[in-house]
Amino acid sequence: MGQNAFRAEGIDTSRPHPARIYDYLLDGKDNYEVDQLAGDQLAAAAPEVRIGVRANRAFLQRAVRYVVGSGVRQILDVGTGLPTSPNVHETAQEVAPDVRIAYVDNDPIVNAHANALLSRSGETSIVLADLRDPRSIVDHPDVRRVIDFDEPVALLLVAILHFITDAEKPEQVVETLRDALPAGSFLVLSHATGDFADRSEAQAVYAKATATLNLRSRARVERFFDGFELIEPGLAQVPFWRPDSPPPAGSETIGFFGGVARKTG
């Protein structure tokens, strides 16, 4: 069996998984009844969640176009989730066909679907690994197969760090990944927040899932960009980060911050 191989009995479908909840909220098909129930409960607790996940997805696409347009030809997407078109590689390769992408996720179901749906060419790699162990990502041979850490890399941490608890030291996780990147690299990051409303009921939904939801303030999210220089407009609610069309109604309530930053040294 290969490094990313797994047995079906190793997949936990008894509890909702964040990637599958996200897929359900995006009207995807790669989810289970337990994920659908959690998604419905989440939407009841946080009515803006459906426009929020779409706004976050649109932010990701705009950010990818920005970093590729800035000259980066390598993307490390950690916590990629289930493939939703347009995928990161589709968005990136519309700008520059020679972009290489390494996708990383810790859910075997995500890994299986990604292997089935995404190219296994030299330009794309799909890796089963966990953000909580960042060195295992940086050192993974299938990451190294497509990512040259001597050249600028765009690191994507989109809607993933809020599933890392404070006890798991998310700042240190980002620092480890940052230190592996050369100057000229970019960090694309989005993170859920409770700054705009009490979202304790939404957190309760994830308390029953395979990962908890750890909301953080704007100031806490900004700390993840230490060692990077934020690109204008800085850290913003995701619909307002360089929008290419009018933000949808209700955008001011969306509890997602997003930003793009460049490593200058």
pLDDT in tens, 184-228: 999 999 999 999 999 999 999 999 998 999 999 999 999 999 999
pLDDT tens, position by position, 222-250: 999 999 999 999 999 999 999 999 998 88
- 220 vs 215: CA distance, rounded Å: 10
The band of 7, judged by pLDDT with boundaries at 50, 70 and 90, is very low
- 131 vs 44: CA distance, rounded Å: 29
pLDDT tens, position by position, 100-157: 999 998 877 776 766 665 655 558 888 889 999 999 999 999 999 999 999 999 999 9
pLDDT at 121: 53
pTM, full prediction: 0.92
pLDDT at 8: 42
Structure tokens at 184: 């000229």
Cα 117 to the center of its chain, rounded Å: 18
Kindly report the number of other CB atoms within 10 A of residue 44's CB atom.
Answer: 12
Percent of the chain with pLDDT over 70: 89
Q: Judge whether residue 6 has pLDDT over 70.
A: no
b/e burial code for range 150-185 (CB count within 10 A of at least 16 → b): eebbbbbbbbbbbbbeeeeebeebbeebbebbeeeb
| Helix 33-45, helix 49-69: angle, nearest 10 | 100
The band of 75, judged by pLDDT with boundaries at 50, 70 and 90, is very high
Averaged pLDDT score across all residues of the chain: 90
- 135 vs 46: CA distance, rounded Å: 35
